[in-house]
Amino acid sequence: MTIFFYLSFCHFFNAYIRIQIRILVLSAERNSRVPYYVYVILCEGNSFYTGYTKNLGARLRQHVRGKGARYTRMHKPRKLVHAEEFSTRSEAMKREKRIKKLNHTQKMRLARSAKGLKALKKKKLPL
């Protein structure tokens, strides 16, 4: 009986700790004012690469140097064609997923709109 009680208590305590950690992570994410970016890069062969990041400039430099995603190592990045800013990682990931589902024509239309880039023009970006 004592062992059963001990194991039940340990299981409950572990679950409680996991919940507390999750709450801390979520509150830290909400309190941090670091924006997340979703970006679209036009690559060689007129293909597009879409991703998200906290630091857009650093991430673009990684892609240019061949240290970014495998796709941009194979298809060299030519130009940043679209970027959007979000306050949470979750929002950025959802938007990235929606953009990745677009076909090539729709991504070209998104790139031509360039609404997302107007706000970022003041920042020095490598592409």
Confidence of residue 21 (pLDDT cuts 50, 70, 90): confident
The CATH number of the domain where 102 resides is what? Answer: 3.40.1440.10
Tell me if 125 is assigned to some domain. no
Three-class DSSP category at 69: coil
Which tens digits make up the pLDDT trace of 50-87?
999 999 999 999 999 999 899 999 999 999 999 999 99
Tell me if 123 is assigned to some domain. no
Q: Which domain holds residue 52?
A: 36-118
Tell me if 8 is assigned to some domain. yes
Kindly tell me the burial class for residue 63, based on how many C-beta atoms sit within 10 Å of its own C-beta (0-12, 13-18, 19 or more).
buried
Three-class DSSP category at 17: helix
What's the pLDDT at 31?
Answer: 62
Q: How many domains does the chain have?
A: 2
The pTM assigned to this predicted structure is 0.70
Confidence of residue 23 (pLDDT cuts 50, 70, 90): confident
Tell me if 73 is assigned to some domain. yes
What's the pLDDT at 4?
Answer: 58
Average model confidence (pLDDT) across the chain: 83
Confidence of residue 34 (pLDDT cuts 50, 70, 90): confident
Tell me if 69 is assigned to some domain. yes
Tell me if 127 is assigned to some domain. no
